[in-house]
Amino acid sequence: YLADEEPSPAEIRDALRSVTLRREGTLVLCGSALKYVGVQPLLDAICAYLPSPLDVPPVSADDARKEGVKHELRCDPNGPLAALVFKVVAEKPVDLHYVRIYSGTLKPNTRLLNTSTGTKENLTRLYRMFAKRREQLTRAVAGEIVAVVGPKSALTGHTLCDPRRPVILEPIEFPETVISVSVEPKSSRDRDKLVEALAALQRQDPTLSVETHPETGQMLISGMGELHLDVAVKRLRTEMNVEVSVGQPRVSYRETVRSVGEGEGRFLRQIAGRNHAAAVRLRLEPRPYARGRTNFEIVSELDESSIPPPFLQAMETGVIDAAHSGVLGGYPVIDWKATLLDAEVHETDSSELAFENAARAAFYEAMKAADPVLLQPIMDVEVVTAEEYFGAIMSDLNARKAVVRETRLRGSDRVISAHVPLAQTFGYITRLRSLSQGRATSTMAPSHYAPVSEEEMRVLVGA
């Protein structure tokens, strides 16, 4: 079989690497991060067997100046500089940005263009990171991952590049948040400290959003699930030393339309001694669901030669603003297309303010006519359990209005895959632990949005 010869360790490593690079096999290593067993062999295997930047094809990037133009970035230290920010660590006095360099050479005290924001960034220092230890560098080349100090506005997913050769690397897409809780400082003196801590959390975790409720003034943090928010609150308390009171979890519902509707909005008001008048008519229709990204479109069928550009921009602003709060329960509206059909311009009284408000009113009227519906987030849930607890867990999932997609065997265990409304998952981990005596495990991730029942909608919107 082996020609009666024992292969050397180098030959075995080369063979395993070759199989991995050709995707003909998957290496499996055993270990425990909790017990710190097998961690070092895993890190060594990553270096030895996974493809290096030189083993993969060139990366495609968009030209930041010319729409539709692509550039291939090779892993070449002499190429134009292009790097992607993939992690931000909030530190005092300045944040630490982790970047992967796809092309070119990066040096300290360099001024780069952030093509994601259009701003210039100053990079003052470079580090190679070894866990918490850092080694200062005088240069870093294509293929390396380094940490940089200096950028002010760069966030995860942003592109940093040579201002003379501006490109945009494929951004990282983050799913919409599905659950929120209110947080308030236990002492009013800590409010500014809480605001600063939440901003730092948000910079580090792009899947976390922070906003202030427009009516109550409460600060809300939103995330991917109960555990995600639990971790965020724990970090506020332990890492940032802010004691907070936390409200009950709230589901982040959405609204959309199921058919086509038209609406007209008029605005006529005297403000500060001046008349403001405008009228807008538009059509609203649904768009296919697009997971994890903003999905709306505004098109115009107006005779734009007779409408000043600022008025057109004001109409778009009004439509987008209206979509932040739907007609059913004031939830954000997703997956829609608005077509501007008609606009009345008054020679003396029309203004941007008037067109913005008229477009907002037209959006609401069109939405009422387009069969609006309330949407709830649905979670992808997978449970792994011993056979003896399978029946009890299935009964509990059914009681939570789950749609079981599949059950299968994995060795001696049963695996359940299901879609469960997020509102039905609160406290599920504790319940699962109780049902299985701690022997079942589960994973949960946002899947999609789906309409709530008519009965649930009446309860939620008070209709």
Q: Is 106 a residue whose pLDDT tops 80?
A: yes
Q: What is the mean pLDDT of residues 349-378?
A: 96
pLDDT for position 272: 84
pLDDT of 292 higher than 70: no
User: Could you tell me the pLDDT band of residue 291, with boundaries at 50, 70 and 90?
Assistant: low
The CA distance from 399 to 231, in Å, is: 28
Residues 127-163 pLDDT 10s: 999 988 999 999 999 999 999 999 999 999 999 999 9
What pLDDT sits at residue 44? 94
pLDDT in tens, 257-275: 999 999 999 999 988 888 9
Average pLDDT over residues 202-222: 87
Could you tell me which residues come within 8 angstroms of residue 215 by beta carbon, excluding any fewer than 6 positions away? Answer: none
Residues 6+ away with beta carbon under 8 Å from 453: none
CB 343 within 8 A of CB 280: yes
Domain ranges within the chain, ordered by starting residue: 9-51, 59-169, 187-248, 256-370, 375-458
Query: In the prediction, which pLDDT does 104 show?
Result: 96
Query: Residue 374 pLDDT more than 70?
Result: yes
The closest alpha carbon to 121, from 89, 149, 92, belongs to 149
- CA separation for the pair 230, 236 (Å, rounded): 10
pLDDT of 427 higher than 80: yes
Up-side HSE of residue 334: CA atoms within 13 Å toward CB?
23
The rounded percent of the chain whose pLDDT value lies above 90 is 77
Question: Is residue 142 within 8 Å of 127, Cβ to Cβ?
Answer: no
Evaluate whether 389 touches 441 at the Cβ level (below 8 Å). no
The pLDDT, as a whole number, for residue 323 is 96
Under CATH, what is the fold of the domain 256-370? Ribosomal Protein S5; domain 2 (3.30.230)
Rounded CA-CA distance 44/324 in Å is 49
Q: Do domains 187-248 and 375-458 have the same CATH topology?
A: yes
For 285, the enclosing helix (H) or strand (E) is: strand 274-286
Tokens of 339: 């077509």
Q: Does domain 187-248 have CATH number 3.30.420.40?
A: no
Tokens of 60: 């495609």
Q: What is the pLDDT of residue 459?
A: 85
Domain 375-458 indexed as CATH 3.30.70.240: yes
Mean pLDDT of 165-193: 90
| Edge-to-edge strand ranges of the sheet holding 133-137 | 119-123, 110-114, 159-161, 82-89, 96-103, 145-149, 125-130, 133-137
Q: Is 8 exposed, middle or buried (0-12, 13-18, 19+ CB in 10 A)?
A: exposed
Residue 214: which pLDDT band, with cuts at 50, 70 and 90? confident
- pLDDT (0 to 100) of residue 293: 56
pLDDT tens, position by position, 14-40: 999 999 999 999 999 999 888 889 999
Is the dihedral angle over the CA atoms 119, 123, 129, 133 positive or is it negative?
Answer: negative
Q: In sequence order, what are the residues at sequence separation of 6 or more whose Cβ sits closer than 8 angstroms to the Cβ of residue 444?
A: 225, 227, 379, 380, 381, 382, 425, 428
Look up the CATH architecture of domain 59-169.
Beta Barrel (2.40)
* Average pLDDT of the residues of the chain: 92
The per-residue pLDDT for 294 is 61
Q: Is the pLDDT of residue 3 over 70?
A: no
Residue 289 has pLDDT above 90, yes or no: no
Type of residue at 66: K
Give this prediction's pTM.
0.74
